[in-house]
Every structure is written in structure tokens, then in C-alpha cells.
A and B are shown apart, each in its own frame.
Chain A
Amino acid sequence: MFERFTRDARAVVKDADGEARRLGSRTIEAEHMLLALARREPFGLDHDEVLRALEAERERSLMAVGISAGDFAVPAAPVTPPKMAASAKVALERSLRASVARSDRRIAAGHLLLGVLAAETGTVPRALALADIDRDELRTRTAAWLDRS
């Protein structure tokens, strides 16, 4: 699968690993791919805004079971290389499917974003909704970017 990846798409996967490490995560999740993609120009996402949205989503979810995240300012302990988790693997599979569906020969960063945005539920769509980022509109914009490039 990786042989079809463009250089930039490979860099996104590597950067997702960096995002996971920076946040002290044991795993690389779809949200870390989203953060890596948000650092790139063409998609109109703001990295800090996405990070804040993910943090707000985390707090909201914990609050729903009566836990105030602020009470648990757990220091980020160093982690061993984070492992690719199911959410990220599924996003990669969906990127491949998005590429095939569009009859594209390669998998570019835009396909990775389409793969991440394909999730109907979970951390990514919840965080985007919380930040009032329209997922469908973002998908349309990303598809248009892929058409042009």
C-alpha cells in the first residue's frame, strides 16, 4: 500500500507519529493524522484550532462521566515509539479506497484527509463538530484540491 504514497503523504504519516509523541500518546490515532494534515497549507485547517478542538472534545467527554480533566494534570511521561492504532489504520484503508474510487493512481495527503474525514463517529468528527468545522464542506474542498493537483 505504501508504495503508492506520494512523498508528502509519507511525510504526513511520519508527522502523525511526531504529533502522537508530542502529546504523550502511546498510540498513533486518526486525530494525530488530522493534526499532521492541519499543518499543511492547502486544506485550510489551522493546527492550533484543531488541537484546541480535540482538547475541548476530550474535556467534554470526561465531563459527561463527572470527571473534570483539569483535576488530572498528568505529566506526559516519555513513551516508547507509539504504535499505529485501529483508528489510524482504518483511516489509511479509507484513504486507499478514496483514491481507488476517484481512479487516482497515487495516495496524496488529500486522500489521507479524506480517509480521516470518512469516520462517522469517534474523536475526529466529534472534535470537528465541536469546533464548528463542517466535515462535508472540508471533504468537498479536499476533493476539489485533489482534482486540481
Chain B
Amino acid sequence: MPTIDLDLPRDPADGLAAVVELRRLADRLEDAEVVRALQDGWTWALIAEALGVTRQAVHKKHAKRVKELGL
């Protein structure tokens, strides 16, 4: 287990850079997990509920991309 440092960055530049990277990581994780859920047979409605967003929102964001995967 890596050690987890719960101290917040002291310099705002470090904190703001962390925000950028966290967003990027979250986007990437979402892209990958939506694909995985669909492959596992989840419906768009279920994925939307799990993400806490509307079905329209999740569909708009991912439908085109996953269609190219043939899902």
C-alpha cells in the first residue's frame, strides 16, 4: 500500500495543478468505466444513475465514442 499524504498542498500553484490532473484522471476513468459497463451489459440509464447524471447527459458525452467501438 502506498502511503497516503493527507496534507493539502501549501502553494496554490500546486493545489491548482492537482485540480487539473484530478479532472483529467476523472475524465479518463469515466471514459474507460463507461465502456466497461456497456461491455458488461449495463444500460445507459443504469450508468447515468451510477454517475449521478441524467441519461441524456451521459449519452451525449459518450454515445458517439462508444459507437465507434461497435458497442
Contact = CB atoms under 8 A, between A and B. Distances in A.
A62 B2 contact: no
B20 A61 contact: yes
Given A74-B25, A77-B35, A126-B17, A65 B9 contact: yes
Contacts of B65: 77-80
Contacts of A126: 13, 17
A61 B32 contact: no
A53 B18 CA distance: 16
A63 B29 contact: no
Most buried by A among B21, B35, B64: B21
A62 B31 contact: no
B17 A68 contact: no
Interface residues of B, number: 29
Contacts of A63: 5
A149 interface: no
A39 to B, nearest CB: 22
Given A66-B5, A66-B6, A71-B2, A24 B28 contact: yes
Contacts, number: 69
Q: Is the interface of A mostly helix, strand, loop or mixed?
A: loop
B9 A64 contact: yes
Contacts of B14: 61, 64
B32 to A, nearest CB: 5
Interface of B: 2, 4-9, 13-18, 20-22, 24-25, 27-29, 31-32, 34-35, 64-65, 68-69
Interface of A: 24-26, 57-58, 61-72, 74-80, 121-123, 126
Top 6 A-B pairs, shortest CB-CB distance: A77-B31, A61-B17, A64-B9, A68-B2, A61-B21, A65-B18
29 contacts: A61-B14, A61-B18, A62-B18, A62-B21, A63-B5, A64-B9, A65-B9, A66-B7, A67-B25, A68-B2, A70-B2, A71-B2, A74-B25, A74-B32, A75-B32, A76-B28, A77-B31, A77-B34, A77-B35, A77-B65, A78-B65, A78-B68, A79-B31, A80-B64, A80-B68, A122-B17, A123-B17, A123-B20, A126-B13
